[in-house]
Structure 1
Amino acid sequence: MAPAASPGIARGGPRDTSLYGWVVFALSFGLLISDYMARQVLNAVFPLLKVEWALSDAQLGLLSGVVALMVGCLTFPLSLAADRWGRVRSLALMAALWSFATLFCAVAATYPQMLLGRVMVGVGEAAYGSVGIAVVISVFPQRLRATLSAAFMAGGLFGQVLGVAIGGEIAASHGWRTAFAVIGLGGLALAVAYPLIVREKRIAAIAGPDAAAPNTPERAPLRALFANRSVRLAYLASGIQLFAAGALPAWLPSYFNRYYAMPVDAAGRMAALFLLICGCGMIMCGMASDRAARGRPDRKILLASGYGFGSAIALSLALLLPPGLPQLVLLGIAMFLVAGTTGPAGAMVANLTPAALHGSAFATLTLAHNLLGLAPGPIVTGRVADAVGLLDALRILPAAAIISALLFLAARRSYLADLKTV
Structure 2
Amino acid sequence: MAIPSVALGDIPAAEPSVPRRYAWVVFALTFGLLISDYMSRQVLNAVFPLLKVEWTLSDAQLGLLSGIVAVMVGLLTFPLSLLADRWGRVRSLALMAMLWSLATLGCAVAQTFPQMFAARFFVGVGEAAYGSVGIAVVISVFPAHLRATLTGAFMAGGMFGSVLGMGLGGVLAAHLGWRWAFAGMALFGLLLALLYPLIVSEKRIAPVAAAEARQQAGGRSLRSLFGSRSVIAAYLGSGLQLFVAAAVMVWIPSYLNRYYHLDTGKAGLISAVIVLVGGSGMVLCGILCDRLGRANPPRKIILAIGFCLVSCVLLSIAFHLPPGTAQLSLLAMGMLVAAGTSGPSGAMVANLTAPAVHGTAFATLTLANNLLGLAPGPLLTGVLADHIGLDRAFQLIPLLSILAALVFIYARRHYHNDMRRLRGEEEGA
TM range (shorter): over 0.9
In structure 2, the residue corresponding to 1:267 is in which secondary structure?
Answer: helix
User: 2: distance between equivalents of 1:120 and 1:387?
Assistant: 30
| Pair 1:253–1:82, CA change in 2 (3 A) | same
CA deviation after TM superposition for structure 1 residue 21, in Å: 4.1
- What's the counterpart of residue 183 of structure 2? 181
**TM-score (normalizing by structure 1):** 0.92
Q: Does the aligned pair in 2 maintain the 1:249–1:275 contact within 8 Å?
A: yes
User: 2: distance between equivalents of 1:118 and 1:196?
Assistant: 28
- What's the counterpart of residue 33 of structure 2? 31
- Of 58, 61, 64, the residue aligned with 1:59 is 61
CA deviation after TM superposition for structure 1 residue 49, in Å: 0.5
- What's the counterpart of residue 248 of structure 1? 248
- What's the counterpart of residue 76 of structure 2? 74
Q: Which shows bigger deviation, 121-130 or 405-414?
A: 405-414
Which aligned pairs between 1:300-319 and structure 2 lie closer than 5 A? Answer: 300-319=300-319
Q: Does the aligned pair in 1 maintain the 2:70–2:375 contact within 8 Å?
A: yes
- What's the counterpart of residue 49 of structure 2? 47
- What's the counterpart of residue 107 of structure 1? 109
User: 2: distance between equivalents of 1:148 and 1:232?
Assistant: 25
User: 2: distance between equivalents of 1:196 and 1:351?
Assistant: 36
| Pair 1:141–1:235, CA change in 2 (3 A) | farther
CA deviation after TM superposition for structure 1 residue 59, in Å: 0.7
- What's the counterpart of residue 343 of structure 1? 343
User: 2: distance between equivalents of 1:133 and 1:348?
Assistant: 18
- What's the counterpart of residue 171 of structure 1? 173
Which aligned pairs between 1:15-414 and structure 2 lie closer than 5 A? Answer: 18-140=20-142, 145-203=147-205, 212-213=212-213, 217-414=217-414
Q: Does the aligned pair in 2 maintain the 1:318–1:328 contact within 8 Å?
A: yes
In structure 2, the residue corresponding to 1:395 is in which secondary structure?
Answer: helix
User: 2: distance between equivalents of 1:204 and 1:418?
Assistant: 34
Q: Does the aligned pair in 1 maintain the 2:74–2:367 contact within 8 Å?
A: yes
CA RMSD of aligned residues (A): 2.4
Percent of residue pairs bearing the same amino acid type: 61
Q: Deviations over 1:219-242 (max 9, x none)?
A: 433323212222111111101111
CA deviation after TM superposition for structure 1 residue 144, in Å: 5.4
| Pair 1:260–1:112, CA change in 2 (3 A) | same
User: 1: distance between equivalents of 2:264 and 2:80?
Assistant: 36
| Pair 1:21–1:412, CA change in 2 (3 A) | farther
User: 1: distance between equivalents of 2:419 and 2:30?
Assistant: 29
Q: Which shows bigger deviation, 354-363 or 252-261?
A: 354-363
Q: Does the aligned pair in 2 maintain the 1:67–1:121 contact within 8 Å?
A: yes
**TM-score (normalizing by structure 2):** 0.91
Q: Does the aligned pair in 2 maintain the 1:204–1:213 contact within 8 Å?
A: no
CA deviation after TM superposition for structure 1 residue 108, in Å: 0.5
CA deviation after TM superposition for structure 1 residue 395, in Å: 1.6
User: 2: distance between equivalents of 1:413 and 1:148?
Assistant: 30
User: 2: distance between equivalents of 1:9 and 1:200?
Assistant: 29
CA deviation after TM superposition for structure 1 residue 141, in Å: 5.4
Q: Does the aligned pair in 2 maintain the 1:87–1:131 contact within 8 Å?
A: yes
| Pair 1:399–1:136, CA change in 2 (3 A) | farther
Q: Which shows bigger deviation, 77-86 or 135-144?
A: 135-144
For 1:187, give the aligned amino acid: G
CA deviation after TM superposition for structure 1 residue 67, in Å: 0.6
CA deviation after TM superposition for structure 1 residue 217, in Å: 4.7
Q: Deviations over 1:150-194 (max 9, x none)?
A: 321211111111011101111111111111111111111112222
User: 1: distance between equivalents of 2:239 and 2:140?
Assistant: 23
Q: Deviations over 1:52-94 (max 9, x none)?
A: 1011111111111111111111111111212332323222211
Q: Does the aligned pair in 1 maintain the 2:216–2:356 contact within 8 Å?
A: no
| Pair 1:7–1:15, CA change in 2 (3 A) | farther
Q: Does the aligned pair in 1 maintain the 2:237–2:407 contact within 8 Å?
A: yes
User: 2: distance between equivalents of 1:413 and 1:107?
Assistant: 52
For 1:76, give the aligned amino acid: F
In structure 1, the residue corresponding to 2:8 is in which secondary structure?
Answer: coil
User: 1: distance between equivalents of 2:350 and 2:15?
Assistant: 16
Q: Which shows bigger deviation, 238-247 or 123-132?
A: 123-132
Q: Does the aligned pair in 2 maintain the 1:144–1:290 contact within 8 Å?
A: no
In structure 2, the residue corresponding to 1:349 is in which secondary structure?
Answer: helix
User: 1: distance between equivalents of 2:355 and 2:199?
Assistant: 23
Q: Does the aligned pair in 1 maintain the 2:384–2:390 contact within 8 Å?
A: yes
Specify every segment of 5 or more residues in structure 2 that has no aligned partner in the other structure, as ranges: 424-429
Q: Does the aligned pair in 2 maintain the 1:293–1:300 contact within 8 Å?
A: yes
For 2:37, give the aligned amino acid: D
CA deviation after TM superposition for structure 1 residue 303, in Å: 1.5
Q: Which shows bigger deviation, 48-57 or 224-233?
A: 224-233
CA deviation after TM superposition for structure 1 residue 294, in Å: 1.6
Specify every segment of 5 or more residues in structure 1 that has no aligned partner in the other structure, as ranges: none
